[in-house]
């Protein structure tokens, strides 16, 4: 294996469809109009020396190293800033150019430390390469003049260093932060000899606005900005392309390795989801994979109060299988079930649901998507016929009006947020519907045209009011509706939304949103050109989550914003493989590809292949499993890669369910909160330790590739297979590719997916079959998958969770950039430097009324429970609304959330909980009790001393 070297063309590709032909050093090359001479030269096989240019950034023209001569023109223009022209004759190597370039390089080198041999970038430094490329042998000015060699390093960022003594002030970092990341944290201060890179307002990188995305590190041509891991480990020797295991953006990376140690993760320019960008999590937060808390030996115990006992895989698997069979013999076939993970691969998820349906013989399988995006599946399938988003990420480049509802992409989906911000800086309009003033509402060079700061729980009322304006002001795209949608459904819907009670003025009393804002936003969305809706858990995690998904589908259909680039209804999926987990048949009522278990033809196909009779009734959903466990009818559970005790709502109820189980098998990287109640622990494998595929938010199926052996000896799919075999249901896969072959054979929308195809194309978006052999970037182009688009009536029904004198504030929850979900991984990385605890955001008025100051401990009470955490007083939240994250188990934020859930899918209503805040002295009684329980449960017995 070797290092994967990506070609740097120096400037971005031009988008023109017209081409021009020119010659470079005698080679003819045809390129799109608008291409730079530098890029055209590279395409012709000629490398022009460069320092300030890279194809991730617009050309800048500052270093003067890339000079060329053009026949018939005077001077030596910079090839990075000069566009090609038809018939142009370019020379890149003439005596004059060579002399000029050497002169430029001499100046750079005369102010550069000559410590190449001991520099971390030695062998991978563009300055070094360029000195070689221009044939620099001597520095006439010597090294004794004024220089910057003594500048102190900034080591404040946990992941990279800034050594200004090595800086050539090429500005690539500054431009990367602006153009690629959109944070604008860096500037070049002063001019001439005094010019230097500065983070924020003369702050350290850590104190500045920097969000540690790493784009500047990647852009830096010298060792000025370097990964600390590179400095510590040394230059990588080989690399493997893989996919980030954090969020649903699905960024591609080159895992650059030295032996079996990861040196760094470098975003892959060919990655179609990220186009060479990344966020702090994917790029830097992989240290959890080798964290000392990793459990690498299977363990069992008879009671959850016993210490864990390390055993062999055979013993652990054998014990789990015999316990599941004992429970089924005693309590019946349906007394056991399992949960698949949105963090695991498609292949692993498929195997877990297969084990449950075929091995356990029931449909008691569910997935953590239940608690996040299950309404997306239900709502979009009803409206359009497919349980997935309609676009690819590239589509946003052609969007004129972006509408973000209940999502905070800057924190949740950072790389896509950067692309969205780029489009907004280029002129797209923005509507944000969110109770919080998120970063998308106002940040560097971004300002929402409309922010509708609605009260939590009133999404549907706002969507209906938007629709009211569109219908009553004649803004409907009638041609689209006539050609593409069911007209009877449309008429009924139009009549419904036109009712006065759905007008912006009428709903303002409970949404809290100024009617004029709603009217303005509706007009902009309907008439502003291509309108695209992007939404997140602020839509789905409500008692009307599914209704709101349908309401957004209605808005998109009514305005003709479907079936082409730049438009669509786009769920921003939380975890890396939420889409895949849903696709793979993880829901109790559906096989792969969203086919109902009661469908005889589908079920018979699976029965034939799997060789067992399958149940035709849907099994238990996750909350039903907890209920049944508390009632005593559900006794055994297999949970792969999911921490239900921390992530599911109403923790006390979940804990009661877990305590009632006779056999809980947890498969994870760490002893998570759920493992506190487990009897068998199967050590999991990280994404670095196995092969497989993830499917991101745009339905893109991408490979993950093994770069090191599983620390516990088995990859997760191998452990599931062993459990199935121990249960007596035979599975015999040699490699995950064989599992994918089975998935493809059994699933119409995956029919043409194979590892060979993924290796060839890099990735594909399903449906990928005979009709679309290279996948489907945009859905519903000529017609909806279900035929005609279906408008649904979306009556607003207020949640039963109401504020009142006892609980007068509304709590809503979310995530922040540096942390991921329940934090099991990110808490075990340096990311804790940015977020070491969950904080409660509270508006200054509400804080003052309760005597709460910034940083104070506060007690947060709801009718479900009580917890304590520290307060941040901020006007990011509106009066009456408080907000927190749920990344840290010490906080136990889900003790507060209630058992209310979406009417269609049981997705919990995390986003609306009536609460009260009061001053506190520290952790609550429940937190202390839970900590004791947790500490006791995590004991691992010492190996018995040898006789």
Q: Return the biggest CA–CA distance within the chain.
A: 92
247 forms beta bridges with 575
Are the C-beta atoms of residues 337 and 639 closer than 8 Å to each other? no
Which part of the chain contacts ligand FES (CB under 6 A), choosing from 63-71, 280-288, 293-301, 318-326? 63-71
Q: How far is the CB of 194 from ligand SF4 (least distance, A)?
A: 14
Q: How far is the CB of 74 from ligand FES (least distance, A)?
A: 18
Alpha helices for 277-413 (secondary structure H): 280-284, 313-331, 346-354, 374-384, 409-412
Which part of the chain contacts ligand FES (CB under 6 A), choosing from 50-58, 202-210, 431-439, 673-681? 50-58
Which part of the chain contacts ligand FES (CB under 6 A), choosing from 20-28, 62-70, 732-740, 849-857? 62-70
Question: In this structure, what token pair is assigned to residue 807?
Answer: 């609980």
- What does DSSP say about strands 252-258 and 261-267: parallel, antiparallel, or unpaired? antiparallel
Residue choice 24, 53, 532, 852 for contact with ligand FES (CB under 6 A) = 53
Distance CA 373, CA 377 (A): 7
Residue choice 22, 29, 216, 682 for contact with ligand SF4 (CB under 6 A) = 216
CB-side neighbour CA atoms (13 Å) of 874: 15
Q: Considering CB distances under 5 to 8 angstroms, the limit depending on partner class, which of ligand FES, ligand SF4, none binds residue 852?
A: none
Q: Using CB under 6 A as the criterion, what x/- string covers residues 7-36 for binding ligand SF4?
A: ------------------------------
Q: Is residue 52 near ligand FES by the rule CB under 6 A? A: yes
Are the C-beta atoms of residues 418 and 443 closer than 8 Å to each other? no
Give which of 405, 450, 403 is closest to 423, Cα–Cα: 403
Question: In this structure, what token pair is assigned to residue 825?
Answer: 């991984």
Q: How far is the CB of 53 from ligand FES (least distance, A)?
A: 4
Distance CA 646, CA 650 (A): 10
Nearer to ligand FES, 61 or 529 (CB): 61
Which part of the chain contacts ligand FES (CB under 6 A), choosing from 56-64, 86-94, 244-252, 843-851? 56-64
**Phi, psi at residue 262, to the nearest 5°?**
-75, 125
Residue choice 22, 24, 46, 63 for contact with ligand FES (CB under 6 A) = 63
Residue choice 211, 380, 494, 537 for contact with ligand SF4 (CB under 6 A) = 211
Within residues 681-720, the interface with ligand FES by CB under 6 A covers none
Within residues 492-531, the interface with ligand FES by CB under 6 A covers none
Distance CA 399, CA 914 (A): 37
Q: Considering CB distances under 5 to 8 angstroms, the limit depending on partner class, which of ligand SF4, ligand FES, none binds residue 53?
A: ligand FES
Q: Is 232 exposed, middle or buried (0-12, 13-18, 19+ CB in 10 A)?
A: exposed
If one counts every other C-beta atom within 10 angstroms of the C-beta of residue 397, the result is 15
Q: How far is the CB of 595 from ligand SF4 (least distance, A)?
A: 29
Distance CA 810, CA 808 (A): 7
Within residues 135-194, the interface with ligand SF4 by CB under 6 A covers 167-173, 176-177, 181, 183, 185-186
Nearer to ligand FES, 172 or 297 (CB): 172
Site size toward ligand SF4 (CB under 6 A) is 41
If one counts every other C-beta atom within 10 angstroms of the C-beta of residue 139, the result is 18
Site size toward ligand FES (CB under 6 A) is 12
Are the C-beta atoms of residues 182 and 422 closer than 8 Å to each other? yes
Q: Is residue 847 near ligand SF4 by the rule CB under 6 A? A: no
CB-nearest residue to ligand SF4? 282
Residue choice 76, 92, 224, 927 for contact with ligand SF4 (CB under 6 A) = 224
Q: What strands lie across the sheet with 261-267, from one edge to the other?
A: 238-243, 252-258, 261-267
Helix, strand or coil for residue 872?
strand
Within residues 724-783, the interface with ligand SF4 by CB under 6 A covers none
Run of H or E including 858: strand 857-861
Distance CA 423, CA 396 (A): 7
Nearer to ligand SF4, 224 or 546 (CB): 224
Give the sign of the dihedral formed by CA 5, CA 10, CA 15, CA 21.
Answer: negative
Q: Considering CB distances under 5 to 8 angstroms, the limit depending on partner class, which of ligand SF4, ligand FES, none binds residue 891?
A: none
Nearer to ligand SF4, 79 or 208 (CB): 208
Are the C-beta atoms of residues 523 and 475 closer than 8 Å to each other? yes
Q: Is residue 425 near ligand FES by the rule CB under 6 A? A: no
Are the C-beta atoms of residues 913 and 544 closer than 8 Å to each other? no
Q: Considering CB distances under 5 to 8 angstroms, the limit depending on partner class, which of ligand FES, ligand SF4, none binds residue 61?
A: ligand FES
Distance CA 75, CA 58 (A): 23
Q: Is residue 211 near ligand FES by the rule CB under 6 A? A: no
Which part of the chain contacts ligand FES (CB under 6 A), choosing from 64-72, 208-216, 226-234, 268-276? 64-72
CB-side neighbour CA atoms (13 Å) of 643: 24
Residue choice 249, 368, 432, 832 for contact with ligand SF4 (CB under 6 A) = 249
Q: Using CB under 6 A as the criterion, what x/- string covers residues 69-108 for binding ligand FES?
A: ---------x-x----------------------------
Q: Is residue 615 near ligand FES by the rule CB under 6 A? A: no
187 forms beta bridges with 198
Q: Is residue 66 near ligand FES by the rule CB under 6 A? A: yes
Residue choice 20, 38, 120, 251 for contact with ligand SF4 (CB under 6 A) = 251
Distance CA 441, CA 403 (A): 11
Q: Is residue 61 near ligand FES by the rule CB under 6 A? A: yes
Within residues 415-474, the interface with ligand SF4 by CB under 6 A covers 415
Distance CA 891, CA 887 (A): 8
Which part of the chain contacts ligand SF4 (CB under 6 A), choosing from 214-222, 377-385, 648-656, 670-678? 214-222
Q: Is residue 51 near ligand FES by the rule CB under 6 A? A: yes
Alpha-carbon Rg for the chain, nearest whole angstrom, is: 29
Are the C-beta atoms of residues 774 and 758 closer than 8 Å to each other? no
- Look at the block and give the residue holding tokens 């990075």: 80
Nearer to ligand SF4, 225 or 289 (CB): 225
Which part of the chain contacts ligand FES (CB under 6 A), choosing from 58-66, 527-535, 805-813, 916-924? 58-66
Binding site for ligand SF4 (CB under 6 A): 167-173, 176-177, 181, 183, 185-186, 197, 210-216, 219-222, 224-225, 244, 246-247, 249-251, 274, 278-279, 281-282, 413-415
Binding region for ligand FES (CB under 6 A): 50-53, 61-66, 78, 80
């Amino acid at each position: 294996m070797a290092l994967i070297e990506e070609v740097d063309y120096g400037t971005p590709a031009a988008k023109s469809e017209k081409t021009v032909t020119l010659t470079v050093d005698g080679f003819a090359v045809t390129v799109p109009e608008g291409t730079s001479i530098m890029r055209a030269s590279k395409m012709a096989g000629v490398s022009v020396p460069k320092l300030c240019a890279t194809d991730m950034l617009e050309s800048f023209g500052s270093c003067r190293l890339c000079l060329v001569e053009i026949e018939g023109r005077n001077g030596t223009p910079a090839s990075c800033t000069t566009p090609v022209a038809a018939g142009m004759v370019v020379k890149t190597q003439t005596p004059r150019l060579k002399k000029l370039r050497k002169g430029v390089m001499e100046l750079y080198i005369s102010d550069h430390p000559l410590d190449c041999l001991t520099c971390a970038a030695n062998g991978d430094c563009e300055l070094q390469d360029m000195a070689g490329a221009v044939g620099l042998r001597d520095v006439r000015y010597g090294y004794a003049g004024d220089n910057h060699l003594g500048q102190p390093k900034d080591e404040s960022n946990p992941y990279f260093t800034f050594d200004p003594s090595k800086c050539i002030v090429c500005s690539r970092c500054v431009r990367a932060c602006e153009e690629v990341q959109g944070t604008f944290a860096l500037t070049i201060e002063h001019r001439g000899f005094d010019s230097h890179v500065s983070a924020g307002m003369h702050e350290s990188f850590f104190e500045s606005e920097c969000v540690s995305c790493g784009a500047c590190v990647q852009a830096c041509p010298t060792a000025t900005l370097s990964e600390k891991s590179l400095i510590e480990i040394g230059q990588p020797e080989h690399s493997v392309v893989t996919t980030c295991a954090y969020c649903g953006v699905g960024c591609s990376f080159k895992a650059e390795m030295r032996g079996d140690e990861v040196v760094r993760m470098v975003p892959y320019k060919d990655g179609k989801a990220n186009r060479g960008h990344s966020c702090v999590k994917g790029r830097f937060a992989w240290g959890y994979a080798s964290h000392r808390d990793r459990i690498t030996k299977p363990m069992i115990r008879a009671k959850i109060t016993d210490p864990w006992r390390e055993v062999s895989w055979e013993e652990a698997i054998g014990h789990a299988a015999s316990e599941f069979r004992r429970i089924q013999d005693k309590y019946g076939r349906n007394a056991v079930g399992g949960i698949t993970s949105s963090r695991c691969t498609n292949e692993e998820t498929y195997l877990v649901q297969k084990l449950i349906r075929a091995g356990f013989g029931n449909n008691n399988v569910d997935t953590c998507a239940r608690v996040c995006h299950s309404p997306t599946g239900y709502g979009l399938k009803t409206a359009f016929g497919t349980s997935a988003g309609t676009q690819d990420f590239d589509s946003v480049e052609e969007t004129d009006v972006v509408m973000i509802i209940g999502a905070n992409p800057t924190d949740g989906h950072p790389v896509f947020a950067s692309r969205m911000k780029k489009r907004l800086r280029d002129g797209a309009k923005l509507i944000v519907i969110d109770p919080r003033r998120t970063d998308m509402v106002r940040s560097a060079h971004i300002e929402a045209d409309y922010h509708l700061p609605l009260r939590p729980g009133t999404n549907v009322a706002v969507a209906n009011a938007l629709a009211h304006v569109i219908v009553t002001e004649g803004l409907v795209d009638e041609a689209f509706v006539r050609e593409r949608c069911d007209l009877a459904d449309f008429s009924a819907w139009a009549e419904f939304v036109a009712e006065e009670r759905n007008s912006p003025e009428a709903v303002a009393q409970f949404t809290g949103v100024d009617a004029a804002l709603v009217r303005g936003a509706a007009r902009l969305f309907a008439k502003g050109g291509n309108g695209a809706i992007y939404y997140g858990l602020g839509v789905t995690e409500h008692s009307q989550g599914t209704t709101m998904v349908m309401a957004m589908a209605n808005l998109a259909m009514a305005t003709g914003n479907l079936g082409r680039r730049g438009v669509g209804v786009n769920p921003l999926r939380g975890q890396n493989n939420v889409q895949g987990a849903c696709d793979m048949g993880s829901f109790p009522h559906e096989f792969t590809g969203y086919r109902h278990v009661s469908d005889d033809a589908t079920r018979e196909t699976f029965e034939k292949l799997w060789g067992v009779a399958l149940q035709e009734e849907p099994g238990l959903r996750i909350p039903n499993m907890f209920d049944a466990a508390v009632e005593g009818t559900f006794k055994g559970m297999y949970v792969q890669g999911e921490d239900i005790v921390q992530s599911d709502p109403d923790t006390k109820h979940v804990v009661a369910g877990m305590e009632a189980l006779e056999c809980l098998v947890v498969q994870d990287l760490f002893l998570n909160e759920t493992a506190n109640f487990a009897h068998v622990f199967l050590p999991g494998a990280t994404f670095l330790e196995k092969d497989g595929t993830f499917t991101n938010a745009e339905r893109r199926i991408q490979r993950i590739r093994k770069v090191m052996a599983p620390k516990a000896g088995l990859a997760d799919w191998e452990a599931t297979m062993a459990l199935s075999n121990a249960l007596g249901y035979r599975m015999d896969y040699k490699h995950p590719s064989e599992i994918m072959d089975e998935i493809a054979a059994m699933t119409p929308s995956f029919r043409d997916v194979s590892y060979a195809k993924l290796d060839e194309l890099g990735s594909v978006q399903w449906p990928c079959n005979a009709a679309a052999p290279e996948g489907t970037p945009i859905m519903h182009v000529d017609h909806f998958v279900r035929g005609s688009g279906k408008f649904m009536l979306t009556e607003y029904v207020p949640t039963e969770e109401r504020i009142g004198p006892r609980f007068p504030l509304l709590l809503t929850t979310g995530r922040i950039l540096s942390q991921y979900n329940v934090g099991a991984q990110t808490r075990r990385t340096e990311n804790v430097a940015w977020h070491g605890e969950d904080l409660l955001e509270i508006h200054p008025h509400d804080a003052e009324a309760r005597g709460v100051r910034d940083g104070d401990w506060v007690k947060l009470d709801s009718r479900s429970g009580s917890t304590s955490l520290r307060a941040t007083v901020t006007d990011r939240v509106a009066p009456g609304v408080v907000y927190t994250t749920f990344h840290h188990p010490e906080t136990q934020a889900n003790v507060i959330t209630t058992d209310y859930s979406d009417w269609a899918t049981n997705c919990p209503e995390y986003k609306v909980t009536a609460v009260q805040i009061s001053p506190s002295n520290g952790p609550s009684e429940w937190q202390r009790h839970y900590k004791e329980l947790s500490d006791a449960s995590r004991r691992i017995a010492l190996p018995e001393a040898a006789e």
